[in-house]
């Protein structure tokens, strides 16, 4: 599609008009809107299962990463009738979020300049009960990615002490995400509280390198362990989402071996090479949907904080 400004296509019985296909979205790399749409076409089998039935927030870059962007929660009135939506009640209003369960909707989103895929941690069948929790590892000023990897391993070890499995991925920016699949049985507030307690264990184990400080100025030299991303309505770049940074990086699943061996960088994977990686080693998050960790004790029992702080292997610090 490169070099074509406009094209009418039919995808799974739905007709779409793709526009401005030659517009540069990542100018330095010569990557156009057509490349972005092709990426979503190729990666749809791996992207759609993770966002299935999740309300989406569109982060739109109509003029590419060098232009203005905006977040859009409400499905626009001009969307095709076949674009599925789900109404979610917020304080004082109802927002009709887009639900992207098929390829035509995914390509329509790409054509809207929806560069990133931001999804809820819950699905519409249990909208107030998340089936995912997340730790967002965000390096403060002066923190190298090596340190982010080190903190990720510390989180992994702590989770394993409590029989919890975490799935690591690059954020596609400077940090990492660790996804924790759950049974959808606790509220967002309960999950946030559980993640806070787990985060506090990490801070006690490595106070010189990890912080829960919300002030950006006070995070200098440390990795911010953001548990507040587990709040109701919070979204983040989901699995295989492109990012609006030079080189078109994507948020890519990792193996813990890659984390241990310091084998990855924030920009290791992008929209041009991720398909080869997936075809070669498979989808590293394939087991995530079937995994259901239990966090009940962290919601009900404060004493686990003390136990956790005593069981972390300190040799990583």
* 11 neighbors 104 (Cβ within 8 angstroms): yes
Question: Are both 39 and 173 inside the same structural domain?
Answer: no
Question: Are both 46 and 112 inside the same structural domain?
Answer: yes
Question: Are both 102 and 162 inside the same structural domain?
Answer: no
pLDDT bucket at 230, cuts 50 / 70 / 90: very high
| Domain final residue pick, 50, 84, 119 | 119
Domain containing residue 254? 132-316
Cα separation, 211 vs 225, whole angstroms: 6
Residue 124 is assigned to a structural domain of this protein? no
Question: Are both 153 and 300 inside the same structural domain?
Answer: yes
| Domain final residue pick, 97, 119, 141 | 119
Question: Are both 105 and 138 inside the same structural domain?
Answer: no
Question: Are both 154 and 92 inside the same structural domain?
Answer: no
Question: Are both 244 and 161 inside the same structural domain?
Answer: yes
Which token pair is 118?
Answer: 């931001």
Residue 278 is assigned to a structural domain of this protein? yes
* 104 neighbors 82 (Cβ within 8 angstroms): yes
Q: What is the pLDDT of residue 102?
A: 98
pLDDT bucket at 312, cuts 50 / 70 / 90: low
Question: Are both 97 and 235 inside the same structural domain?
Answer: no
Which token pair is 120?
Answer: 């809820």
> Which H/E stretch holds residue 150?
helix 145-161
Residue 125 is assigned to a structural domain of this protein? no
- Is the confidence at residue 117, as pLDDT, over 60? yes
Which token pair is 18?
Answer: 């793709």
The CATH number given to whatever domain includes residue 26 is 3.90.920.10
The number of CA neighbours under 13 Å toward the Cβ of 190 is 19
**Number of C-beta neighbours around residue 274 at 10 A:** 23
| Domain final residue pick, 119, 149, 175 | 119
Residue 11 is assigned to a structural domain of this protein? yes
- Is the confidence at residue 294, as pLDDT, over 60? yes
Which token pair is 194?
Answer: 């559980």
Enter the pTM of the model: 0.91
Question: Are both 248 and 157 inside the same structural domain?
Answer: yes
Cα separation, 170 vs 305, whole angstroms: 27
Which token pair is 230?
Answer: 């587990």
The number of CA neighbours under 13 Å toward the Cβ of 42 is 17
Residue 90 is assigned to a structural domain of this protein? yes
The SS3 call for residue 9 is strand
Question: Are both 214 and 283 inside the same structural domain?
Answer: yes
Cα separation, 15 vs 212, whole angstroms: 48
Question: Are both 143 and 228 inside the same structural domain?
Answer: yes
Contacts of residue 205, Cβ cutoff 8 Å, sequence gap at least 6: 154, 158, 309, 312, 314, 317
| Residue whose token pair is 């990792």 | 254
pLDDT bucket at 305, cuts 50 / 70 / 90: very low
Contacts of residue 175, Cβ cutoff 8 Å, sequence gap at least 6: 136, 137, 138, 139, 148, 223, 266
Query: What is the β-pairing status of strands 223-226 and 236-237?
Result: unpaired
Residue 235 is assigned to a structural domain of this protein? yes
For 181-229, the pLDDT digits (tens) are: 999 999 999 999 999 999 999 999 999 999 999 888 889 999 999 999 9
Residue 126 is assigned to a structural domain of this protein? no
Residue 279 is assigned to a structural domain of this protein? yes
Question: Are both 161 and 293 inside the same structural domain?
Answer: yes
Cα separation, 293 vs 282, whole angstroms: 23
Mean pLDDT, residues 260-268 taken together: 95
Cα 302 from chain centroid (whole Å): 29
Q: How many domains are there within the chain?
A: 2
């Amino acid at each position: 599609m490169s070099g074509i400004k406009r094209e009418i296509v039919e995808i799974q019985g739905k007709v779409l008009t793709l526009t401005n296909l030659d517009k540069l979205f990542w100018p330095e790399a010569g990557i156009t809107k057509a490349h972005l749409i092709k990426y979503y076409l190729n990666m749809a089998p791996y992207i759609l299962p993770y966002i299935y039935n999740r309300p989406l927030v569109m982060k739109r870059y109509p003029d590419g990463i060098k232009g203005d962007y905006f977040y859009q929660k409400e499905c626009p009135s001009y969307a095709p009738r076949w674009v599925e939506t789900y109404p979610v009640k917020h304080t004082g209003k109802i927002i009709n979020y887009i639900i992207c369960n098929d390829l035509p909707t995914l390509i329509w989103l790409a054509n809207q300049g929806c560069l990133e895929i931001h999804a809820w941690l819950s699905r519409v069948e249990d909208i107030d009960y998340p089936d995912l929790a997340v730790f967002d590892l965000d390096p403060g000023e002066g923190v190298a990615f090596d340190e982010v990897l080190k903190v990720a391993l510390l989180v992994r070890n702590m989770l394993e002490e409590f029989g919890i499995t975490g799935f690591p991925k690059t954020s596609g920016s400077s940090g990492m995400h660790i996804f924790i699949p759950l049974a959808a049985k606790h509220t967002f507030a309960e999950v946030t509280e559980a993640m806070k307690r787990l985060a506090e264990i990490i801070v006690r184990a490595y106070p010189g390198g990890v912080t829960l400080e919300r002030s950006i100025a006070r995070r200098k030299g440390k990795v911010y362990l953001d548990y507040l991303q587990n709040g109701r309505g919070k979204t983040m770049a989901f699995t295989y989402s492109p990012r609006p940074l030079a080189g078109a990086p994507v948020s890519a699943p990792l193996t813990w071996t890659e984390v241990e061996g310091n084998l990855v960088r924030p920009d290791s994977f992008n929209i041009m090479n991720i398909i080869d990686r997936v075809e070669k080693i498979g989808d590293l998050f394939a087991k995530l949907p079937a995994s259901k960790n239990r966090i009940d004790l962290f919601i009900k029992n404060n004493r686990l904080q003390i136990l956790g702080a005593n069981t972390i292997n300190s040799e990583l610090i």
